[in-house]
Amino acid sequence: MNQTIYGLLALLPIVLCGIFLIGLQWSAKRTMPIVLAVTATLALFVWDMTLNRVSSSIIQGMVITVSVLWIVFGAIFLLNTLKHTGAIAVIRAGFTNVSPDRRVQAIIIAWCFGCFLEGAAGFGTAAAIAAPLLVAIGFPALGAVLMGMMIQSTPVSFGAVGTPIVIGVNKGLDTVAISAQLAQQGLEWGDFLQLITSQVAIMHGVIGTFMPLFMVMMLTRFFGKNKSWREGFAIWPFAIFAGLAFTVPYTLTGVFLGPEFPSLVGGLVSITIVVNAAKRGFLVPKTTWDFEPKKSWPSEWLGKLVVSKEDITPALSDKKMSTVMAWFPYLLVALLLVCSRVLTGFQSLLNSATVDLTSILSEADISASFSPLYLPGGLLLISALVAAAFQTNKPVNALNNAFKESGKTVLGAGFVLIFTIPMVRIFINSGVNLSDVASMPVASAELFAGTFGSVFPLISATIGALGAFIAGSNTVSNMMFSQFQYEAAMSLHISPSLIIAAQAVGAAAGNMIAVHNVVAASATVGLLGMEGATLRRTILPTIYYVLFCGIIVMAAIYLFGFQGPLAS
């Protein structure tokens, strides 16, 4: 069997996801068991993976599923706790005071606050927190998930304090061999990695500036009474201003300080600038935009997470609460997330509770771990406990009610993810096989490279997005494809740093269409079964992102003649 056939077969699970979820509008609950079965069949009978390796990959996927559900549970539990302490009512009123315009609210919560959360935690945490918060202030669940998924783009490459670059690219490249080549040009590995970081920051800075405008245009087009793109575009001065408030400090931080802090710094700066601008009406249209009354919303917009004034039990909301106190649990989450990623001693303390599974079923390279305290889920739970203690005189009642409501939502998400993530792990682990062929991700990437030739830079970002669609992770996509992108660039005699940067940018954009990210975000608002509806919308900003990234890279190489180290 030739490499083209392997490449086409490797794409089969991805194609099936697209057909079932987007084309046939099936739910993920119905789609993912079938896709898992197809992937396992390919692994066993085409890639000749051993049954033991396939089984160990499934077990690894199940352990990772527990970690994802832990984050989802933490996000929902915190929100439900705040609902019962009365904090959500205060937060809702606070945003109304900043601006009653839903477009402005979406930009502040999803873009500014969400980008900061992504920088602190990564791994879908921003969407898991932002989506239920948007529902809490009156957004349709489907619209909230869409906004939450669209922030899984610009800040993601430097999410979790730079993990996709620091871990993803570092672990995805043959650093020993590349360092030897760099040494011949008088350079070190750190110089090469910083060049990649700078190029990623600049590309995101250009493309990401327009994401807030794209977000509000999607909001008014799909969830407005008039189904109008124009109503979203009407806020373009404020939206571009909000985009720049994030991307300018973000890009400068990436270029001058490295990969750990661009999203954190950009998020903090944008929150401060944009909230103050909105309060003063700076660049905000005089005409306020809002959704139609809730009674006229289609049923598919509604999730099971309902937060209204009537839901907040007066007996539990017995403390007069300031806006600062209402927001304090979310600020505490952000602080804990940053400390847990930056302070080594605190990180070690949290990781002391980690459960490790190494060499699953004797497969030396397949392992998994569960860190209940280090993962954002644990920190969200800590914040919920603090909220209950300080925001109400009846903390036990608030926590008990929140636990019951949150548990029901997570059970629904678990069924889908228990099929989705094991499928991803089989896909990634397929490189060790009896047929001695490339793994499924690399086989599919080689098919693209062979097909596109010299215009490969145009689709290098698309390959990164493909990896994120499969794995639901920028970091994992970078680990899967960075070395392949490097080899493709060297064979074409073009800048490897620029092609790897395009991989990282595309992988960030691919998070917007990653199935298990959509499932996790949907679960936080009780909207399972509508994943296809979200994906049909998020495919639009994903195409925008990878297309413009490809154009920028092509222009840099062939129009401006950029080479960089190792290019020949």
Name the DSSP letter for residue 107.
Answer: I
Calpha distance 90→521 (Å, rounded): 24
The per-residue pLDDT for range 482-509, each reduced to its tens digit, is: 988 988 888 888 999 999 999 999 999 9
Residue 147's domain comprises 3-288+319-559
231, two tokens: 């109503």
Name the DSSP letter for residue 108.
Answer: I
Calpha distance 122→165 (Å, rounded): 12
Residue 445 counted as domain residue = yes
Q: Yes or no: say if 425 and 368 are a contact pair by the CB < 8 Å rule.
A: no
Answer whether residue 139 shows pLDDT above 90: yes
Residue 200 counted as domain residue = yes
Residue 310 counted as domain residue = no
CB within 8 A of 217, min separation 6: which ones?
A: 229, 232, 233
Provide Rg for the chain, Cα atoms: 23
What average pLDDT does this structure show over 5-27?
Answer: 86
pLDDT averaged over every residue in the chain: 88
Exposure of 34 by Cβ count < 10 A (0-12 exposed, 13-18 middle, 19+ buried)? middle
Residue 568 counted as domain residue = no
Mean pLDDT is lowest, of 56-70, 112-126, 345-359, 389-403, for: 112-126
The per-residue pLDDT for range 41-88, each reduced to its tens digit, is: 999 999 999 999 999 999 998 988 888 888 878 888 887 898 889 888
Q: What is the pLDDT of residue 318?
A: 53
Residue 301 counted as domain residue = no
Calpha distance 37→43 (Å, rounded): 10
What average pLDDT does this structure show over 90-96?
Answer: 76
The per-residue pLDDT for range 185-230, each reduced to its tens digit, is: 889 999 999 999 999 999 999 999 999 999 999 999 999 999 999 9
The per-residue pLDDT for range 498-557, each reduced to its tens digit, is: 999 999 999 999 999 988 788 888 888 888 778 888 988 999 999 999 999 999 999 999
Query: Half-sphere exposure of residue 102, counting CA atoms within 13 Å on the CB side?
Result: 24
294, two tokens: 């809730």
What average pLDDT does this structure show over 340-349?
Answer: 88
What average pLDDT does this structure show over 415-419?
Answer: 82
What average pLDDT does this structure show over 454-459?
Answer: 93
Calpha distance 510→424 (Å, rounded): 14
What average pLDDT does this structure show over 149-176?
Answer: 88
Residue 307 counted as domain residue = no
Residue 17 counted as domain residue = yes
Residue in the structure block whose two tokens are 């300031």:
322
For 218-284, give the secondary structure using H, E and C.
Answer: HHHHHHCCCCCHHHHHCCHHHHHHHHHHHHHHHHHHHHHHCCCCHHHHHHHHHHHHHHHHHHCCCCC
Q: Between the CA atoms of 395, 400, 406 and 411, what dihedral angle is there, to the nearest 10 degrees?
A: 150
Neighbours of 324 (CB within 10 A): 10
Calpha distance 265→97 (Å, rounded): 26
How many domains does the chain fold into? 1
Residue 355 counted as domain residue = yes
Q: Which of 173, 157, 141, 283 is nearest to 208 (CA)?
A: 157
Answering whether pTM is above 0.85, one says no
Neighbours of 252 (CB within 10 A): 15
